Structure formats: C-alpha cells, structure tokens
Structure 1
C-alpha cells in the first residue's frame, strides 16, 4: 500500500513564525522572504544574482512531517551560470544546490527591457532603420524580446534572445500593428551585445494602427445583472473550497499558474492534482523572422508570473471570491497579485428535464463553480477556466484572445503560410497546444486506464440488419500502449477505473477523459520544434506517478535541444495497471488567422471534460430544487 497522503479536509495547518500554510498552499510573502534570506546567508546571492523562477517544492505524497520548501532558480547575470537551490522555510536551511545542465532558465522581466536597450543602442540596428527611411520612428519603436527556439550557431551559446521591431506612434500605441519585416536582431544577454543582425528585404511597414480601444461603444445593449441575494453557495477556508459535494484546494505558482489539489466529490477522491504545466505555440511560417518561433509559454516565460490582476465586472461577473498570489520578482522579493484567481458560480442552462405523458414538466437548472485565472504573455492572453458541475463532471476550458502576431507583406499578395488580416499585415498559421497534467485518484490511487471506442459491427450473423454498433475496450497496461491519438470518428474516450471500488451494478467506478477534436503538432518529425515539443505529437500520454516528473517538455525547454520530459520518461515503458497514474492530455487550437481576428482577437476555446462513468449509482443531482424560475 502506497503512502500517498490521504485526502483529509481536516489536515492540520502549519504555523511557521506567523506564516499559516497547508502543505499544498501557494507560497506566502513571508515564506518568499524567509527563503531568500537563507540563500543570502549561504552566500548564493550577489549583486548580479537574479531569480528566473521561484516555485513551491510540493511535498511528496509519502511525506508525513510537513516541511514547506521553495525551489529557487538562480542566475548570475554576469557569467550566465545558473543553478537550483531548494530551501526549507520550515527549518530555515538550504536543502540542496545544483548547477543546471542543458537548457536555460525562463526569461525575466528585466531581460525584456535589456534586450530592447541593447537593440536600440546597436549601430547595426540604427543603420537598418535608416536604410528603410525609419530614423524618425526610432524613439517609440518596440523591440519585442522573443525566445529563440533551438537553432545553435557557432556565435550563439548560453543566454540568447531574438528581437523583432515594430513601429508605434507613441509609447501607448499598439506594439503589434506595424512590423518592420525582415529585421531580426540576435542578442547575447550575458555579454550584453548584439551577436548579429539580419536585414532581409524592403517590405513596406503596414500603415494602419492597431488601436482597438478607440472604437466608440454601441449603445443598444441593455444591462444584465447577476445577483445572489443570499450570497454564494460555496464556502472558502484559506485555500480550501467546498461547494455542492465538491471539496478541493486552490493553488497557484509562477510557472503553471492556477492549480487544483485534492479534488473530491461526495467525499470520494477524484484528482490529487491538476494543472496545465506547459503549452507550446509553434508557427508554420518559413520567413526569416518567424520560422524559429515556437514559444513554450510556461517553460520559457512562466504562465503564473504573467498572471493578470482580475477586475470585478470585467474578467469575472457575479458574486466573486478572489484569491491572491505571491510570486517572486527578478530579485527574489515577493510581489502580490491581489486578485489572481476568481471563484464564482454561474447559471449553465438546463441540467435535466422531462415532460411526462400527462403533460407535466419537471426541469432543473444547472449551475457550475468556476475557478479561473488569466495570463498575458506578450501579444496573447490566455484564460484558464476549471468548471465543476453538479453531477461530478470536471471541465477545463482554455480561452485564447489578445493580438495575433503578424509580419509585413505586399498588400494583396498571396502567401502560403500567412493570411492577410489588414492591408499589408500578414498573420502566420500557428498552433496553441496545451498539455494538462492530471494526477488522477478515482476512489483511491490504484487506477487503470482503458481506451473505449464505439465501432460498427460488420453486416452478418452478429448484425443481420446492418444497424448494430457496439463499444470496444482496450486496457492500456504500460506506457508504450498509452501514447495515443484521439479519434472523434470512434467517439474515443479514455476511462480511468478504480481497482478498489465498484458501484451497485458491480462495475468499477470510473471517470472518462473526453477530448474535444483538435490537431496535434503539425511540424515535421525532423524539425527542431518536434524534438523539443514531442509531447504535443499525441493527445494522450500516461505515466506512473513520480514526484520529479512535472513538466512534459522537461524542466528547462528554453534553449534545450529536445527529447526531455514525456519521451524520455516513457522510454522506460513502465507498468500502468492498478497503480498511481498520471494522465497528460494535449489539446488546443490550430489557428489560420482571419480578418475578424484583427485588431484584437475574439476568444477562441479549447478544452476537455472529465466525466463520471459509474462513479455514482444514479443521477447525483435528482435532489436539485426547481428554484422558482418556471412561470407560465
């Protein structure tokens, strides 16, 4: 029997010199300060030391004693040397220190400014702007700092970033509307110098601005008011949330952003942990300024560190509870996002209804609990919405919006890899591929994964009239068998079954992972991004739980050659039967931009459901009140 920590709402809280913390809670400001103080005392922090990532080191499932730990990634900006330090803030001591191997830490906010300063100070960049007749536009030009992918050259090593240039009328203008096509600056951040400049072609800069906030508002929409006179149905105690049979803990960290922990329904475990630990945004354009773009928004930029402070009535509507988040800045000091996570209820239409033969209708309305966070990474904005439903269903929806990334071209020309969305402005085809990590615990930790397909039966003795179809069940007993693609034509789902509990019909209690149709990585197998984002080539991976297997592209995808994460772990082909299983589900958007996406993109949605299948003995929401909404 494993020593996984049991789901226990009454887990004792830790009191640490005035710092109250459950073992799975987000970091507090006091803990960040205490951890940094330990590193200073150990001589690991100097004048040029920076903190690209500061993350909670969550306790192992087997942990009995509570020890709150923080993993600090340290970077010496003068030398480029980097390492990971684990600090126990409970014991006020350094637990470990290790220099980093392949790959770079995530980029820091101060490096964005540094890249622009180096670019604008470069005589080569100034000459390229002058050659194009743009000298008078230099003051307000925006030099975007962009992750370089992995295309090693003799003059590139260590901490390298690329910069593309966009024109603005002033510092408040949209920075994405007027690209200076073909001008690429390669920068060494450690040596603080330009490595080289590419200046390809003489495409005119698009003339139109991208100011989407200047449009007069329509006056025809009437207000919609959402009220709950008696307050919300949920209760919050610290990071713990209880709502209509659900109990869970809400977490947040600088890399993943929003996380869920110890999720149970009707006092039975469903998920130990759920998050979106990585996403990759590969571009399909071969132009010099874009072929290398394949952003890892969690591993290279840190999703949580880029989280928005949410606003009532705009980002969230209704009766809201906000959770704050404390993150470390580039110097390792705490910064608060006061309203990083939004919690609220919302109506969700009809839950169930039937009109009997006498004409009497019974109807109940659905509602769902929404736990959400929004991040802005450069030009794109991503909303992550976890929905909990009254029947035990869990849904994750990722919403992509913001401003599409575009280059310049000749107005009216046809490009094979980009669409014209405004005169002379071409947005490349690209993808947004998310990977959810689901540490499932369906009625305990001993679970197995089955693939269930609906298939037709050939006409014959078993199908004499040709109408029959059935389902096929396949046990995915080891890692090599659980690397799978979705198949909407077969209504394919993946079913996670308990080894320890059955329902009243004698079948194992289960949940189904229900994918939405979405493409996988479109890049070719020999491409750099295919090696670095192999996780995105399949819709499903499954692994046995390991505490150090957290990120599907590996710990440090920035400037990494590839092969880390899921492809490396699953090469061991470990057993998955009746064990502590982690599912990795890839889903997302493949975007062929359209004029309607400019100058700001309407929300595009992707996601999946975790749906109970025999987890309950019957509809668990039969007792919902009618609510007094029905009128004749």
Structure 2
C-alpha cells in the first residue's frame, strides 16, 4: 500500500503531510466552511487484531468539527490512503455533549465580557478597570442552574486583576463574581454577583528576581554518557536493553506507549492517560461548578511544551517532535515535545556474603519517556519509566500555580494574606490495554489477610495471601486498600512459569483517595471513572475514553459506567485495565507563588513473569567510580570517589 511519506507502521506518529491531506479531503467534501473549526484531531488507530496480525491497514484520522457561528458539530473520520470521508455524524449536544473548547473561543472571551454592561458595572462597583481584567473561561459542567439555552456551548468566566504587563493575575482574583457566556451567540447571559470581596494585594510574580531573592550558591550538575546513549529510536520504534516498544502522541492523551515488550514477550499493547478530572471542593454560589476534565474538555496535550536541554531534561537526550492540527486544520509541530533519556537509579541488586566472601553490586537505571504540558494555571508532567528488571512505572508531576480565590475559609487554605486556594483533587485515569505474554488475561485481587491465633497458628504470627479472581465487569470495579496492601495481579490464563505459576504483572496502586464528591453529585455522574481505583473491561476498540468521547457539557453516564452495563466476562479474555490515581490537594503556603512539584502514579511489576531475577545479566560498573575501579591508573578505595547508592 502506498502511503504518505512512505509510512512504515500502522501506529506511526502523525506527519505534517497527513494533517494537510486530511484538511484537503474535508475541503473537497465541503465540510470546512469559513466558520468551521477543528476541536479535536487524532489518529484513528486500527483495531488491535489488525495491527498484531501485520495486515495492511488503512491510515485514518478522526476530526471533530465545530461551526462557531451556528454551534453545530460533526464527528468525522477521514482516510488519507483513499483520500475519502469514511464516516460523518452530526452531534446531538443535549445527548452527546459538546466538542472541546478551543483557542478561537478562549481568544474572544474578554471582548464578549467587556461588551456586557452587567459585567462592566460589576467591575466598576469594585473600582476595577475592565482593561485590567484577565478573564479565565472555564468549562461549565452540566448543571441545572443554566436551563435557558439547552444545547448551546457555554463557559463560565472568572476575572483576575493584572496590575501591569508582567504581573501574574492569579494573585488578584476578583471573587464573588462569575459570568455565564454563550460561546455561539457570543453573549453574556448571566452575571452572578454574589459578594464583593477585597481583591488580594499580594504578589504572585515568582519570576521577579526581587521576589526570588539572591540565588543559592549551587554548583552545576553535569550528566554525561561518554559512549553515548544505550537506546535507539527509529520511526517511533524504541529499543533499550531488553525493552521494545513504540511511542505515539495525540492532543487528547499526549504521550502514548504501544506494543510494550520485554525480551520479546508482550506486556501491554497500549498505555496512556486517557482522562483526568480536577474537582474543586468550594460549594459557594460562584464556585460550586468548578471541575475540569483537562483531557476531554480542553485537549490539554495540544499545549505541550517544547522541552529545553538542561532545564526540562538532563543528560544525553533524544527529543521527538509531535504534529497536531490547529483550529483551522493546518499542521502545527510541537518541537521537542517528547524527551527520552536514561537515568541512573541507585542500586539494582547487591549482596555481601559472609560465607563465600562474594561482594556484588549492580546499578539500576531507567529509560525515561516524558512530556510536559501547561493547562491554565497548572503544569503537568507525565513520565513513563522502564527499568532493567522489567518494572514499568508512570509518574505524574503537578506544578505551576494553584487556582486562587479571595475567600480563605472552610474549603480553602489561606496561602498569602487574603488569598485563598480552594481544596481540590487531581485524578487521572490510566488506560492499560494489557497483553501479558500475549493473552488471554485475567485479574486477581491480592491482599494480606490475618490468621487468627488458634489451631495451626498457636503463636499468632501467621498471615496469608488472599486471592480473589475478578470474573465479570460487575466484579471488577474495585477500591484500593492500603491497610491490606491490596494489589491487582494481571495474569496470562494459559501460560505458566517454570514453577507452574501463572505468568503475570502486578499493578501496585498508591492507595490515595478517589473522587470525594457525594454519590448524588453532578460531578460523580460525569466522572464516575474516578470513583473507583480499578475497572476491568473486555477489550472493545471503540472504548477509549473513560468519561466518554464528548465530555464537555455531557450530563454524565458515558464511558465506563455505560460500558460495564453489559457485564461482560473478563476472566481469560482480551482485557483493558483502567486505573484511577491522583492527588488530594489541601494547598499549603509553601505552594505559593509557584508550587513545587507534587507526585503521583503507579507501578507495574513482574510477578511470576520471569523464572528468576531478569537483571542478573546487568554488567558491573566500569566507570572507575566503584571500589576496585581504575581511573588514570589509580585504584579507588573506600572513601574515595565512591558511587552513590
């Protein structure tokens, strides 16, 4: 099959030529009028079976189109191989939800607000010049407090005062005031002026040298690999040690990993962060609706940073660009969107034996594949780690600026004089399309269980392992339980190791709180995925996003809660594991004016996948910095140039 730019793999990353080709097809089909914009563009990946079979596949892309004049929208799939529209469905917003909010709409929000007399008058009563106000348009949710225009695209907007061009307005929230904006009609339909709170006068200018103070005297850290890096990347195909995988990128999920294998054995067909939600805890009349689905409502990876050597990444770095489409459907290349490098990670294994005199140490290292994206006030980093012993880890980093209010109190921390930061959560959903040793797979819930003192346990020291097989989708909606060390063992139901045990990988959760909102709340119905730490579903190529395809203004019930109604079997099937993890953030004064990185994530560890330690073949360090190593003819003894453990 002849494809654009001699594409070599069905999961190859998007090229600029493909973005242009999709636009040409849509133009030829008459689907791109003067007021039509892209709200979503992503590769429409072939079904898993087609890719794994090696069959030729059709290269397709999914585009969600929005007419910003009429509010009508369409879900379109385009083939760049046949240069044709494969499918085209007009959305029904009251039922389906709205397409994501786009840059075109963000850019016009201040003009809409400043044209509204009620908004200007509310600011004037506070003695604030509208020209000083930076408006923040935020997804409106799906509440019954705005019934006037069902099906219309709406956002709710807060104002923040900006005192000068370099002033960070997050320090000056204009609290007690919110506007409801109809994006299609470009009108302010309602202004809720609940209370006039003093605007905080603290500074948020963390990048001002006077605020930072004199820099500490820290010596540079340089990371070098004199012989170069140990991994290779060809057309998105990554090889490192025994690891083999592909990388991808799209504007909704950001970085995606595909066909992850170790020593030729499959582990996971596709891994991504498929959704995240940030629900806030302040129930006030102007803030009760605050909850943001950064993937589904904003396509947050379209704002991914172009990473910088020495700042974002250290060492022998390989950067990869990512290509997305802008609002008009033209290609936009994010340079250095993905960073790949190796990191030393301390001791991998070590023993000094008193009987044999053996002293052996091997150092751990990991391959890091990452990207960073700012979305509004927050910045998120997503770091996939692959370790020499077969472990996979995802670490999500949250930094940036906390969302602020002018009303510290029961549901917010006072982080600076008069400045509040409402309590909130950052909840992520990882979609893990598992293929442990090729499948079929199943999930066992494993936890520690106490054994009562008595017959067989006369001294009360015994405890055992409790194993529960999850058989159907109704069984496979689980909470974490740190008190019992609950983990989930993903096994191959047809293959065993040399000891007769099923080969598998274990998902180790952090066990932090899931969604804290009330069961009857609107956010609970819209972010049901976040109410459980684990869901297991039978694989379906169309089931990609845990809160549904169209999250913006969706009334709820889409995604995982809808799919599991079928109650399909998940024991010995082709399964997808969905894991909710995240942070519950009670902000601290130390989080202002910029928040040090907070961390969350999970680990997948081999459990019976190998017959023994798979990292016995890691060579000893030869860089002259271990005891017994030689450098310039000198033998380094204890206390001299010893490597950190």
TM-score interval (norm. to shorter)? over 0.9
Q: Could you list the per-position Cα deviations for residues 171-198 of structure 1 after superposition, in whole angstroms to 9, with x for gaps in the alignment?
A: 3321211000111011000001110111
Which of 91, 94, 101 aligns to 2:82? It is 91
Look up the match of 1:491.
485
1:20 maps onto 2:3 in alignment: no
Which SS does the other structure have where 1:407 is aligned? coil
Task: Tell me how far apart the structure 1 counterparts of residues 252 and 285 of structure 2 sit (CA, whole Å).
Answer: 30
Residue 76, structure 1, aligned to residue 76, structure 2: no
TM-score computed with the length of structure 2 as normaliser = 0.94
- The answer on whether the counterparts of 1:443 and 1:500 sit within 8 Å (CA) in structure 2 is no
Match of 1:44 among 31, 50, 55: 31
Which residue does the alignment assign to 2:263?
A: 266
Counterpart in the other structure of 1:8: none
Give the direction of change, closer, same or farther, for the CA distance of 1:577–1:183 in structure 2 (3 Å limit).
same
From 284, 288, 291, the equivalent of 2:285 is 288
Q: Deviations over 1:493-521 (max 9, x none)?
A: 10011123211111111000010121010
**What is the RMSD computed on CA atoms of the aligned residues?**
1.2
The offset of 1:361, in angstroms, is 2.4
Of 231, 239, 243 in structure 1, the residue corresponding to residue 240 of structure 2 is 243
Cα pair 2:528 2:557 within 8 Å, conserved: yes
Q: Give, in angstroms, the shift of residue 622 of structure 1.
A: 1.0
For residue 143 of structure 1, the aligned residue among 127, 135, 138 is 135
In 2, the alpha carbon distance for the partners of 1:549 and 1:398 equals 23
2:434 aligned to which of 427, 436, 440: 440
Matched, 1:173 2:167: yes
Given that 2:291 and 2:523 are in contact with CA atoms closer than 8 Å, whether structure 1 keeps it comes out as: yes
State the match for 2:57 in structure 1: 66
- The ranges of structure 1 where at least 4 consecutive aligned residues each deviate by more than 6 angstroms after the TM superposition are none
1:106-255 correspondence to structure 2 within 5 Å: 106-135=100-129, 138-152=130-144, 153-157=146-150, 158-214=152-208, 215-255=212-252
Determine whether 1:53 maps to 2:40: yes
Q: Distance in 2 between matches of 1:354 and 1:389?
A: 20
Question: What residue in structure 1 maps to residue 328 of structure 2?
Answer: 331
Secondary structure (helix, strand or coil) at the match of 2:175 reads strand
- Is the contact made by 1:115 and 1:161 (CA closer than 8 Å) also made in structure 2? no
Partner of 1:630: 626
Structure-2 separation of matches of 1:354 and 1:288 = 61
Tell me: CA distance 1:292–1:271, structure 2 relative to 1, closer, same or farther (3 Å): same
The range that moved more, 353-362 or 24-33, is 353-362
Give distance in 2, aligned partners of 1:120 and 1:600.
29
List runs of 5+ in structure 1 lacking aligned partners: 1-13
Taking the TM superposition and a 5 Å limit, the aligned residue runs for 1:470-489 are 470-489=464-483
Residues 388-419 of structure 1, C-alpha deviations (whole Å, 9 max, x = no match): 0001000000000010001103xxxx611011
Give the match's secondary structure for 1:435. strand
SS at match of 1:608: strand
| Matched ranges for 1:421-436 at <5 A | 421-436=415-430
Quote the residue 2:307 is aligned against. Answer: 310
**CA offset digits 1:27-85 (Å, max 9, x no partner):** 11100110111011011110000000011100012323221100010101111000111
Asked if 2 retains the 8 angstrom alpha-carbon contact of 1:54 and 1:328, the reply is: yes
CA contact (8 A) 2:163 2:169 kept: no
Q: Deviations for 1:584-624, whole angstroms, at most 9, x for unmatched residues?
A: 00000000001000000011101000100011111111121
**What is the rounded CA distance, in whole Å, between the counterparts of 2:518 and 2:594 in structure 1?**
30
Give 1:216 shift: 3.6
Cα deviation per residue 1:519-550 (whole Å; 9 max; x = unaligned)? 01000011110000011000000001000000
Task: Tell me which residue corresponds to 2:367.
Answer: 369
Shift of 1:123: 1.6
Correspondences of 1:490-569 after superposition (within 5 Å) = 490-569=484-563
- How many Å apart are 1:360 and its aligned residue? 4.5
Per-residue deviation, 1:15: 4.7
Alignment match, 2:447: 453
Which residue does the alignment assign to 1:571? Answer: 565
Deviation (angstroms), 1:425: 0.4
Distance in 2 between the 1:582 and 1:80 partners? 35
Q: CA deviation at 1:90?
A: 0.9
Find the counterpart in structure 2 of residue 10 from structure 1. Answer: none
Partner of residue 396, structure 1: 394
Shift of 1:21: 4.6
Size of the aligned set, in residue pairs, is 613
